[in-house]
Structure 1
Amino acid sequence: MAADSEVAPRLFISYSWSSADHQAWVVELAGQLRHQGIDVILDKWHLKPGHDANAFMEKMVTDKTVTKVILICDEVYVKKSDGRKGGAGTEAQIVTPKLYSEREQDKFVAVVREHDEHGKAYLPTYYGSRIYIDLSNPATYAQEFERVVRWAWDAPLDVAPEIGTKPTFLNSNSSATKPTNLGTRRIIDAIRNGSAHSTAATSEFLGAADAIFEEFRLTSAQIVVENYDDIVVDSVEKFIPYRNEFISLFSAIGQYQPTLEMAGIVHRFFERLIPYLHPPVNAGSYSNLDQDNYRFIVHELYLYWIAILLKYERFDVASSMLDEQYYWNSHRRPDETMHSFTVFREYAKTFDIRNDRLKLMRTSVRADMLKQRNEGTGIDFSYVMCADFIFYFRATTFGDYNSWWPETLLYVNRHGGPFEMFARAKSARYFERIKRLIGVRSVGGAVCAYYRSSY
């Protein structure tokens, strides 16, 4: 029985009395459809003694309350329809103009019961090349029957997704907003296929990525305007297409080629991004806000790189990324050229300014943006949060309490349980796999480190 809020479709079955077996098959089909909440009208049930059979059939085909009509097509039905003989011929004369009416195309469908000796479905000539449903094969009957039910209820299996908004790159002439063409597709294919040149191609691409980041350098004229935070956020948003290509490349590496050699290439890539977090060496005057777009972009990329390694459980590679220091000669402090992973998390005051200026009353605008931008990346945000937690845990384990603030952990659900990686660490074997990554040697060491990170 149909739900109270839904009106059951009324469906008429047109068929030929070809044989007793065929009639029984049609009656069984009609019963199955009624069990699916469809109000089936069948001559054997609704045509009474003394009724005019032709008038009944004509009424069913033309009745506006009858929303669907099935044409059961076997050899006899098709011959009568094409020859305009019998009830099927009468219906053919009525159905033909309606079938060609665009307004009523969804009302009629042919259901094939038989094929000819050449394997061709029996269909009336007037049906033309229209899509039909085939119930002649027992092996596919259930699947095709579902198609009948979905058609009757106007509930197709394949539905077009909603149309999105106009791409932002169409509203601007800035090259940074246009769809990217970085050439990562051929590199990703090479990585997936285990090509011998994949490592060299990745190194070449990431080694030349500076040009991409230079496109996003903000000018001093932009920095002095009152709504500077809008400019920073716009710059960060325009980087999304590029970010997505980097994420796709990182995902291919993590899934198909997580070698230490490849990790070294990515390590050098991030080293080359460190200068973007700070004023240029030749900058005469600068503001602490000048690099805030880069501080968000690079921080986000690093989070996703480690999150991807966690997703694919490449703990040895992730460990090497955190264990190995990163070279950067600031020229302002030449005695400090090697830096830990915490160098990638720099405070960006612009987002606090934005929070105040727009009176957003948010705990962290930066965290909100990281969460919102996660949609469509293919990386569950739980992996991003887990990476963020590991960075914080490692930083506090080594006594560097102020160098990594885990922005994304604002979105941790206190009732959601531990991150998957730590839940699995209940197994001693699994703990052995992750202990180097979290910077401990034993379970006891992990407990002590946890308490240190909690205070």
Structure 2
Amino acid sequence: MPAPKVFISYSWTSPEHQQWVVDLATQLRESGVDAILDKWDLKEGHDSIAFMERMVTDPEVQKVVIVSDPLYAERADGRRGGVGTETQIISPQIYAKASQDKFVVVVSEVDADGKASLPTYYGSRIFIDLSSEEIYPQNFEQLVRWVFGKPLFAKPQVGKPPIYLEENSVLLPTRSRASRAMDLLQKGSTQSEASLRDYLETLAENFEALRVDTKSNPFDEAVVASIESFLPYRNEFVRVITSLARNNATDDTITLIKRFFESVLPYNHRPENVTSWSDDWSDNFKFIIHELFLYTVAILLKYERFASMDQLITGGFYVGGISNYSHQPVQGISIFDVSLHSLEVRKQRLALKRTSLHADILQERAKIAGIGFEDVMQADFVLFMREANDASSAERDNRWYPDTLVYLGHHSRPFEIFARARSTRYFEKVKNIIGVQKKADLVQLVQAFGKKLYLPRWNYYSLNPAELMGLDQIATTA
């Protein structure tokens, strides 16, 4: 690719200013720009006016940099000297097109009030400020990017509208309640708990609106569409829980979250008034509830609300209203980790060579400020370890399948909270989220994998708990 040609227009204000311009032009050339300067390119015997006119109007000169200082602005406005001549050539070019992008003013000096001196004809157009050493490196990069047409913030392509904008998308009456809850939580208001209760109860009461028509064909398409239509409400929920974790995660508010999950878990199962039922008919509910639970744990971990997370999990979840669990109405966290048969059908129907569509969808949707997919994977791993410890204590099989960890690959570094737990003091804070009392308990738990406890395996990769915790380094410093 040929170097872009750039003509530099400036005033011979002083020897120091001329050297400043030469240095700028030199830097541009060193950055791959064919900078054209009168000191280099206007030779004895050349017509200076013809030279300037050609530089401004020649289509091979893609850009013109106008170095403006107080004297340049004064001469441009008064149409005096060589600057005045250049102004008579440049200004019609700028006025000709409102979207003109061939010209840019570079400010080399500002007045005592910090105001830039600009030619009147340049108007309110955006300029590049190189007037101080502090801002010079960053703004010089901006200049180079302008020359090459490679802005720092490139405009992304327009994608297709999300499914939740379609006419048949679900509308839940939660927005104002979520906003009020977040506002009161951030203010630490005495009304924050009541507003959080109102939001969570309203969300739970309207879950029925998410139910998928069982006659949909193909059914897996309807499940995926339902999951996507819920995305704004997932984001809304995440923002509310984040506000809670940041400001007011009390025992009572964590209990409200626990009651919320207990109230929506029945949607994973056959409704009481329905006799004919297929388990995959509630797959959208299963995905949504599992995702909300994952994000809740991820947020509590991110904001180091370890006691709150332990409170959320400890004691299990009351599901006595679900006939499947009438013999054991309190269930552990494995009740959130369910298989989605419809996604397996979808994988076969579309011949998708993917290990886990469930994990794929979770990863694709992990685009919300403050909580990244790494946070979600960390939560998934912690839940896997906690459920495995509970299973070991109860002498039963462990039942949490950490879908998101398929994206680990050959992940070699520990997750953040475990990396921090090399500090004995920090380990004392986090140990309860796994359910252990000392490092030796954690070592014993890890040793049980592959013997009494199962380890997930994807293709040629098997989960390595010791590696993901940095077990050797845990509690090795003060």
Q: TM-score range by the shorter chain?
A: 0.7 to 0.9
* More divergent stretch after superposition (239-248 vs 84-93): 84-93
Once the two structures are TM-superposed, the CA of residue 317 in structure 1 deviates from its matched residue by 1.3
Check the 8 A contact 2:163/2:225 in 1, yes or no: no
Q: Does 1:379 align with 2:375?
A: no
Alignment of 1:254-273 (within 5 A): 254-273=245-264
Q: Show the counterpart of 1:243.
A: 234
| Cα distance between partner residues in 1 of 2:29 and 2:275 | 81
2:159 paired residue among 159, 164, 175: 164
Once the two structures are TM-superposed, the CA of residue 368 in structure 1 deviates from its matched residue by 3.1
1:230 paired residue among 221, 230, 248: 221
| Cα distance between partner residues in 1 of 2:156 and 2:142 | 20
Q: Does 1:68 align with 2:76?
A: no
One-letter amino acid matched to 2:148: W
Check the 8 A contact 1:395/1:401 in 2, yes or no: no
| Cα distance between partner residues in 2 of 1:446 and 1:431 | 11
Structure with the greater alpha carbon radius of gyration: 1
Alignment of 1:29-44 (within 5 A): 29-44=24-39
Note the alpha carbon deviations across 1:394-422, whole angstroms, 9 max, x for none: 34323331543333333332342333333
* More divergent stretch after superposition (285-294 vs 330-339): 330-339
Q: Does 1:198 align with 2:192?
A: yes
| Cα distance between partner residues in 2 of 1:223 and 1:191 | 39
Q: Show the counterpart of 2:51.
A: 56
- The verdict on how the C-alpha distance between 1:411 and 1:29 changes in structure 2, with shifts beyond 3 A counting, is closer
Note the alpha carbon deviations across 1:102-159, whole angstroms, 9 max, x for none: 2882222233455678876443333333333344455544454444333333333343
Count of residue pairs the alignment pairs up: 446
Q: Does 1:399 align with 2:395?
A: yes
1:109 paired residue among 95, 101, 104: 104
Q: Show the counterpart of 2:12.
A: 17
- The verdict on how the C-alpha distance between 1:175 and 1:122 changes in structure 2, with shifts beyond 3 A counting, is same
Q: Show the counterpart of 2:333.
A: 341
TM-score w.r.t. the length of structure 2 is 0.82
| Cα distance between partner residues in 2 of 1:320 and 1:342 | 16
| Cα distance between partner residues in 2 of 1:236 and 1:363 | 19
Note the alpha carbon deviations across 1:22-72, whole angstroms, 9 max, x for none: 434433433333333332222222222222222222222222222222333
Once the two structures are TM-superposed, the CA of residue 301 in structure 1 deviates from its matched residue by 1.4
Note the alpha carbon deviations across 1:80-99, whole angstroms, 9 max, x for none: 43343432232222212211
| Cα distance between partner residues in 2 of 1:422 and 1:120 | 51
- The verdict on how the C-alpha distance between 1:119 and 1:228 changes in structure 2, with shifts beyond 3 A counting, is closer
- The percentage of counterpart residues that share the same residue type is 42
- The verdict on how the C-alpha distance between 1:322 and 1:170 changes in structure 2, with shifts beyond 3 A counting, is closer
* More divergent stretch after superposition (36-45 vs 127-136): 127-136
Helix, strand or coil at the partner of 2:54: helix
Check the 8 A contact 1:307/1:386 in 2, yes or no: no
* More divergent stretch after superposition (339-348 vs 193-202): 339-348
Q: Show the counterpart of 1:3.
A: none
| Cα distance between partner residues in 2 of 1:147 and 1:366 | 42
Helix, strand or coil at the partner of 2:106: strand
Check the 8 A contact 2:384/2:400 in 1, yes or no: no
One-letter amino acid matched to 1:420: E
Q: Show the counterpart of 2:414.
A: 418
| Cα distance between partner residues in 1 of 2:261 and 2:353 | 33
| Cα distance between partner residues in 2 of 1:22 and 1:348 | 70
Helix, strand or coil at the partner of 2:91: helix
One-letter amino acid matched to 1:379: G
Note the alpha carbon deviations across 1:195-251, whole angstroms, 9 max, x for none: 222122111211222233110123xxx325552222222222222221121122122
One-letter amino acid matched to 1:238: S
Q: Show the counterpart of 1:125.
A: 120
Check the 8 A contact 1:392/1:406 in 2, yes or no: no
Helix, strand or coil at the partner of 2:61: coil
1:301 paired residue among 287, 292, 301: 292
Check the 8 A contact 1:98/1:104 in 2, yes or no: no
Check the 8 A contact 2:12/2:18 in 1, yes or no: yes
Q: Does 1:217 align with 2:211?
A: yes
| Cα distance between partner residues in 2 of 1:174 and 1:119 | 52
Helix, strand or coil at the partner of 1:105: coil
Check the 8 A contact 1:307/1:387 in 2, yes or no: no
Q: Does 1:351 align with 2:343?
A: yes
Q: Show the counterpart of 2:456.
A: none
1:452 paired residue among 448, 452, 469: 448
Q: Show the counterpart of 1:185.
A: 179
